[in-house]
Structure 1
Amino acid sequence: MFNSRRIKAEDSWQGSIVDKSRNMPDGSNMYHYIHVELSDGHTKKFRIDKELWAALEIGDALVKHPGDPNPKKQ
């Protein structure tokens, strides 16, 4: 079984970006990730779309509310 890194609509969290990365594991699709330090101190890696990835910078504060498809800058 694998661990999905996609953000789910029902997720709710807040934190700040500590790293950004891109990966092409299958050789044909580029995946964009952010590493977020959550308010509880844990760090999680989330897969996001290219446009959002390009708009975010390390240190940006994010909040993800239930029902929203993507996190938003605070």
Structure 2
Amino acid sequence: MTEQEFIAVLAPLMVEITGNAVSNDDLDVTFADLEIDSLNQVEIISHVEDAFGCQLDDSTLRTIHSPRELMEHVAKATSAT
């Protein structure tokens, strides 16, 4: 999975939830700073997991605070399968 592939999945979700697009520059911004509450964060993570055919552990989910962290965990999960 490339950064662009990840953004292609994430961007429409961010527009739907916040009304704002997300770009590569936003990958290191926390979900809180992107105006994503915990419920929306779970929705985003679930959609990204489905899009890339992986499942993240519950313990891992609690450590994800930014889109880049999500991307890195999804990349590890997809390379392990």
Q: What's the TM-score once normalised by structure 2's chain length?
A: 0.29
Q: TM-score, normalised by structure 1?
A: 0.30
- Pick 1 or 2: higher relative contact order, CA cutoff 8 A, min separation 6: 1
Of Structure 1 and Structure 2, which has the larger fraction of its residues in helix?
2
Q: Which has the larger radius of gyration?
A: 1
- Kindly indicate which of the two structures has a greater share of residues assigned to strand: 1
